[in-house]
Amino acid sequence: MTYATQQASPAIKDSLDLISILKAGIVTGMVAGTALGGLLLLFLTPIILEAETYEIQIPDSHPLIPRNIVHFWTFAGAIMLGILYSIIFTFVYTMVQHGIPVKNVGFKSLILALNGFLVAVLIPSLYLPPNPPGMVTSLSVIIRQSIFIAIIIAGILASIAFWIIYLRLSRKYNPMPGLSIGAIAFVVIIITASLLFPPNSNIPSIPSDLLWKYRVESLGAMFAFWVTMGVMVNTMLEYFRPHFRISEN
């Protein structure tokens, strides 16, 4: 890595305009979304199609959707989700990168991506695990979506609290007290928020091994998606950053 690339982090915020950041986010999202769509088609779609054979045995279940339609919207939806998440991620990264306490810009974006995976995927899945067709839940779709958004908001607030505590204590003492107290604050906020939500029960009509295979592979696909964004974003920001020529006269 060249010195110019290593020093790209301070330049990103100063020289990139909104359009450049937007372009970087879109391209990053297209790449990450395409990777996610491929993983979903390869690993999760076969599980979904198998689970649907159990779902039709449930009274009032919807009719099966043709496979070509399932494949198309799985892939298209992954790309659209990738672009949306990546635009948000890229804008957030340009604003907070200077506060991430590592020198390597690649590690900065990867740390933020892992934080995003924790907040947007892993923590919500503890209360609302990803389910394939053939699952009956005690909560309506609207309530589940509202809780999902509330959990993400709680995760964002918990992350902010963690980083504030970690950075302030690290400057005064050493990283370990800040890391420990920040982690405790994070967990307390998440647990407190979860106590406010109604209980959620899942009644499966599919084999347990199929259910857990879907959940594990779903989390794995989303982990790969967030890591791809973390790896790609600096390259795209540097690519779309305006380069100004300095006159020799």
* pLDDT at res. 68: 78
* Least confident range of 3-17, 53-67, 91-105, 226-240: 3-17
Compute the average pLDDT of residues 157-181: 93
Higher pLDDT: 139 or 232? It is 232
Q: What per-residue confidence (pLDDT) applies to 245? A: 43
CB atoms within 10 A of CB 147: 20
CA distances from 238 to 15, 56, 57, 159 (A): 10, 50, 53, 27
- Compare 101 and 161 and report the one with higher pLDDT: 161
Q: Which stretch, 112-126, 202-216, 229-243, has highest mean pLDDT?
A: 112-126
Q: What is the mean pLDDT of residues 203-219?
A: 92
Strand partners of residue 204: 135
Amino acid at 147: I
- Name the pLDDT band for 205 (thresholds 50, 70, 90): confident
At residue 16, the pLDDT reads 74
- Spell 189-214 as b/e; 16+ CB within 10 A means b: bbeebeeebeeeeeebbbeeebbebb
Predicted confidence (pLDDT) at residue 175 exceeds the cutoff of 50: yes
Instruction: Say if residues 158 and 186 touch (Cβ distance below 8 Å).
Output: yes
* Per-residue model confidence (pLDDT) at position 204: 82
| Token pair recorded at residue 227 | 């890591």
Interval 80-106: pLDDT, tens:
999 999 999 999 999 999 989 899 999
Percent of the chain with pLDDT over 70: 87
205 with 54: CB under 8 angstroms?
yes
Structure tokens at 10: 């301070």
The pLDDT tens digits for 28-73 are 999 999 999 999 999 999 998 888 887 665 555 555 667 778 789 9
Mean of the per-residue pLDDT values of the chain: 88
Tell whether the model's pLDDT for residue 2 goes beyond 90.
Answer: no
pLDDT given for residue 64 in this prediction: 60
